[in-house]
Amino acid sequence: MAKHKNIYSVHPMVPMVQQWIAELQDKTGRSLNEWLKHIMKEGPTEKSERRDWLKRVHKLSTRSAMWLAERSLGKGDAEDTPETYLKQAEIYVVEMLAGKKAALKPIYAELLQLGLSVGRDVKACPCKTIVPLFSNHVFAQIKPATLKGIDFGFALKDTKATGRLIDTGGFAKKDRITHRVPITAIADIDDEVRHWLTVAYDMDT
């Protein structure tokens, strides 16, 4: 089994955000702080309105407009550096499995261990509602979907769903995750689940 120094790894989006911040002045004429001051002074109040205003009036890309709108409302900046992201990642997982979903913790821990064991390059990079597993791309994800269970999702392209494997419709929508298996007990993590995890991993390597 692969060994990981840390349970979680830095999300690939973090260096993208760092590069975006570094290039913002040259590409748009304003630094991040200058944009935030401008948005607070001239922009609308709601996030979606700010995003649309930045795209329409300032001709910013959808991603830049979204990130600036989030940061202008005090959101998103906890992921601007590897150190702050890793701290936030732990919080994401704690919050995902809090309250009535606390009973899912043993299932989550088992799925996380299984996911990390499938290859030495695998990284678990938590987000607010899911924990994606990366190789070259996202090939699987752990999602505490209900109070009773976790959806173990897989990137299986147009694979035909058989057995307990459920087609999410993701392939038609061009989503990475195309299939899932509901897990409501540790006993559900069987050879069938391990098979689909390995297939998804192999498809991405």
**pLDDT tens-place string over residues 87-121:** 999 999 999 999 999 999 999 999 999 999 999 99
Burial class (CB in 10 A: 0-12, 13-18, 19+), 44: middle
Residue 21 has pLDDT above 50, yes or no: yes
- The pTM score is 0.82
Contact (Cβ atoms closer than 8 angstroms) between residue 144 and residue 96: yes
Instruction: Round to whole Å and give the CA distance between 64 and 23.
Output: 11
Confidence of residue 203 (pLDDT cuts 50, 70, 90): very high
Residue 148 has pLDDT above 70, yes or no: yes
